[in-house]
Structure 1
Amino acid sequence: MDLQQMRYVVAVAETNSFTRAAERCLVVQSALSHQVARLEKELGARLFERTSRRVRLTPAGAAFLPSARQCLDAAERAANEVAAAVGEIRGRLAVGVVPSVAAVDVPGALRDFNQQYPNVRISLSVGAGDKLVEQVREGGVGVAFLGLPTTVRPEGVNSRELARDRLVAVVGPDHPLAQESAVDLRRLSSEVFVDLPARTDGRVQSDLAFSAAGVHRDVAFEVTNADFLARLAGQGLGIAMLPSAYAAQLTGVITIEVTDAPTRVEYMIWSRDNRTPAATAFLAILGIPEDDDTE
């Protein structure tokens, strides 16, 4: 069994095709199929069910796949650690971000990192805070930027608090509240809202605030993107609750202070146990030293 055979198995599993897997691995299909067959013979079990119409993992293949990925990740990490020891940073940097984070210029930081470490492949994913924490814990994401309610802290990862910010109401220019300088949650509760999906961190902080004020509200639209929330609000379809620092960057909308608005905390998080050389270098650009293990 060797790493190349594992790469072929992972490629077939991810593409559901020997042809596409061979194209991804830059080999002829016959060579890839031969190596997979050799591995199956060595293991004493078929990893794939092959028909004229599709390829799919057998139960044995499904059991083999996670370990194969771990072996490939470990091999890549070992190579990257050796490269870092002789002064070369390479490999991959996976960054996650909640769209409304404003305490750090993430695109600017990635630009600076790319200029300094051109041999590192960068990937950026946008998602909900709880999902990003899980991905950092599992090692799929190296560094992430979150916005969380004050009642929630990222667990199982190293973290640094970046900023605290209060939410503001965001409305369209023609909304009846557009001329108001400040309102409270009770006044807002009679309006229609656009917000993030229920039970997400960004939604929970607003829901808890309205509940604490003893009022309920009508959320007519649920979307996963803060920018789209603002666009819906700008069209007069409802009120959005967004962090004031993020809302200040928006155009075509009016922001209104909410006197009893909830507070949002922005964090940067990274893995406790699996910090790669690329992640360490990116954290250094952001002012986090290598020995910083803040929780």
Structure 2
Amino acid sequence: MELQQLRYVLAVAETGSFTRAAERCLVVQSALSHQIARLERELGARLFDRTSRRVALTPAGAAFLPAARQCLDAAERAAAEVAAAVGEVRGRLAVGLIPTVTAVDIPAALRAFRERYPRVRIGLRVGASDDLTESVRDGALDMAFLGLPVGARPHGVAVHELGRDRLVAVVAPDHPLAAESAVDLRRLSTEPFADLPAGTAGRRQSDEAFAAAGLSRDVPFEVTTADYIDELVAPGLAVALVPAAWAPRLSGVTVVEVTDGPQRVECVAWRRETKTPAAAAFLEILGICVLETGTA
């Protein structure tokens, strides 16, 4: 079993296509298919079901994939550790973040990191806090920038708090509330809301605040990314609660203070036990001192 074969399997699984996997791996498709077939013979099981329309993992392939990813990650970490031992940081830096991060200028930090460590391959994923935390735990991401309810602490990762922010209401410019300097949760509870999906960390901040006040609300509009909220609020379809520092980035809406609104915590999370040299270097650029125990 060779590392290159594992890379080919991961590429096919992630792209769902032998053709696209070969393009990603910069090899001809016949060579990639041949190596995967060799690996399947060695394992005694087919890893993929192939049809003219799609490629899907078999049960054996689904079982093989996590271990294959761990092997490749371990090999990459080993090379990075050797380089770090002789004073060079290289390898990969995979960063996740929610769209509403404001406590850190991520693009500026990544630019400074790339200038200082040009041999590190940088990757970025935007998503929800819960999904990003899981990706940090399973090693798909080196670190993630999250937004969480006050008091929440993700399990299985080291966490450093970056800052706190209050939530404000955003409404359409011609909404009756647009003329108010402030509003409370009771008044907002009578309005239809746009919010993140139920159960997500971003949604819990608001749900817990309304529940604590003994209120319920209607959320007919669920979005998977906060970037779409202004598209629903601006025409008057809904109101929303968003972080105050991020609210100015929305267009066509009016911001209203919420007298009893919730707060949220922005933090960065990383793998407690297997922090890579690149991850440690990026945390250093952010000014975060990491102790040997993996906490800050």
Q: TM-score, normalised by structure 1?
A: 0.89
**Cα distance change, pair 31–144 in 1 and its aligned pair in 2 (3 A):** closer
**Cα distance change, pair 175–115 in 1 and its aligned pair in 2 (3 A):** same
Alpha-carbon separation, structure 2, partners of 1:263 and 1:191: 20
CA RMSD of aligned residues (A): 2.3
- What percent of counterpart residues are identical? 69
Alpha-carbon separation, structure 2, partners of 1:254 and 1:15: 41
Corresponding residue SS for 2:177: coil
Corresponding residue SS for 2:267: strand
Question: Mean Cα displacement is larger for which, 60-69 or 210-219?
Answer: 60-69
Q: Report what 1:294 is aligned to.
A: 295
Q: Report what 1:261 is aligned to.
A: 261
Shift in Å, 1:148: 0.9
Q: Deviations over 1:54-87 (max 9, x none)?
A: 6554444443333222222211111111122222
Alpha-carbon separation, structure 2, partners of 1:269 and 1:120: 20
Q: Report what 1:82 is aligned to.
A: 82
**Cα distance change, pair 51–204 in 1 and its aligned pair in 2 (3 A):** closer
Equivalent pairs counted in the alignment come to 295
**Cα distance change, pair 119–44 in 1 and its aligned pair in 2 (3 A):** same
**Cα distance change, pair 24–133 in 1 and its aligned pair in 2 (3 A):** closer
Alpha-carbon separation, structure 2, partners of 1:20 and 1:62: 19
Q: Report what 1:138 is aligned to.
A: 138
Shift in Å, 1:264: 0.9
Shift in Å, 1:237: 1.8
Structure 1 residues 1-295: aligned runs within 5 Å = 1-49=1-49, 55-291=55-291, 293-294=294-295
- For structure 2, the residue ranges without an aligned partner over 5 or more in a row are none
Q: Deviations over 1:7-26 (max 9, x none)?
A: 33333444455444444333
**Cα distance change, pair 240–288 in 1 and its aligned pair in 2 (3 A):** same
Shift in Å, 1:210: 1.5
Shift in Å, 1:170: 0.9
Higher Cα Rg, which structure: 1
Alpha-carbon separation, structure 1, partners of 2:38 and 2:231: 55
Q: Deviations over 1:138-181 (max 9, x none)?
A: 11111111111114212211111111221111112211111111
Corresponding residue SS for 1:9: helix
Shift in Å, 1:97: 1.0
- For structure 1, the residue ranges without an aligned partner over 5 or more in a row are none
- The aligned amino acid for 1:11 is A
Is the 8 Å Cα contact of residues 194 and 221 (structure 2) preserved in structure 1? yes
**Cα distance change, pair 220–61 in 1 and its aligned pair in 2 (3 A):** closer
Shift in Å, 1:290: 4.6
Corresponding residue SS for 2:179: coil
Q: TM-score, normalised by structure 2?
A: 0.89
**Cα distance change, pair 146–55 in 1 and its aligned pair in 2 (3 A):** closer
Alpha-carbon separation, structure 2, partners of 1:192 and 1:54: 41
Question: Mean Cα displacement is larger for which, 28-37 or 197-206?
Answer: 28-37
Shift in Å, 1:260: 0.8
**Cα distance change, pair 154–37 in 1 and its aligned pair in 2 (3 A):** closer
